[in-house]
Amino acid sequence: MSQDSTVNQDAEGSAPLELPSDPQRRFWIGATCAAGGVAGAAVAVPFVGSFAPSEKARAAGAPVEVDISTIPPGQMRTYEWRGKPVWVIHRTPEMLEGLSKVNGDLADPNSDRPGYTPPYAKNEWRSRKPELWVGVGICTHLGCSPTPRFEPGAQPSLPDDWQGGSLCPCHGSWFDMAGRVYKNKPAPDNLEVPPYQYISDSKIVIGVDEDNPA
């Protein structure tokens, strides 16, 4: 037996157990630690990576460009901005004509209540240009998403002289084609008009206006 080896005797006097020499022991301990470190790193990298925001999350607060030329008259497209559904409605002349017919039925026809209508939308259309309405599709009552009911006329859960708009399916609030809420409904305010502006005759950008630069 070499002098570098260590011999151990168990309590019952059984054959001696030869342990690895100190150099051998140091090698195996080092190898085990290295393997553990690699495994730990393999687990840690995805874990730490999970804290990094995704591309979608980074873009969530960024302005959204919309080609309005692709939206047919009488139709709506929904876009996401800051996690909110934003409706862009291309209103027809008939839809615009119906706005003045419901003023007496609305809770805030002139959009005087603060917080939901920027100055450039404080008009009978609640928009920069009559034909295009941009609004957040979230009911101001408890945050449900209203259902578009653009077709005028009598319909279930709506008045016989309905001029078009949207109906909140959760608690029955009515909104006209400019997102203005009807009187005596659970929703306390008109639908929000987000910041937006035209960048050409055929494009708008949501999230940017005079008070909210990009």
What is the C-alpha to C-alpha distance for residues 57 and 52, in angstroms, rounded to an integer? 10
- Residue 214: the pLDDT is 74
- Residue 59: the pLDDT is 53
**Active centre residues (catalytic):** 171
Q: What is the mean pLDDT of residues 140-157?
A: 95
Structure tokens, 13? 């006097």
The tens digit of pLDDT for each residue in 45-104 reads 333 333 333 455 445 579 999 999 999 999 999 999 999 999 999 999 999 999 999 999
Q: Express as a percent the part of the chain with pLDDT over 70.
A: 72
Per the model's pLDDT, the better-predicted residue between 8 and 192 turns out to be 192
Per the model's pLDDT, the better-predicted residue between 52 and 200 turns out to be 200
Q: What is the mean pLDDT of residues 107-122?
A: 95
Per the model's pLDDT, the better-predicted residue between 145 and 16 turns out to be 145
The answer to whether 116 and 192 have CB atoms below 8 angstroms apart is yes
CA distance to 79, 171, 195, 205, 206, per residue, from 55 (Å): 17, 36, 23, 20, 19
The answer to whether 122 and 108 have CB atoms below 8 angstroms apart is no
The residue behind tokens 């990298």 is: 45
The tens digit of pLDDT for each residue in 8-60 reads 434 344 444 444 455 454 444 454 444 444 444 333 333 333 333 345 544 55
- Residue 55: the pLDDT is 53
What's the mean per-residue pLDDT of the chain?
A: 81
- Residue 63: the pLDDT is 96
Q: pTM value?
A: 0.72
Q: Express as a percent the part of the chain with pLDDT over 90.
A: 70
- Residue 22: the pLDDT is 53
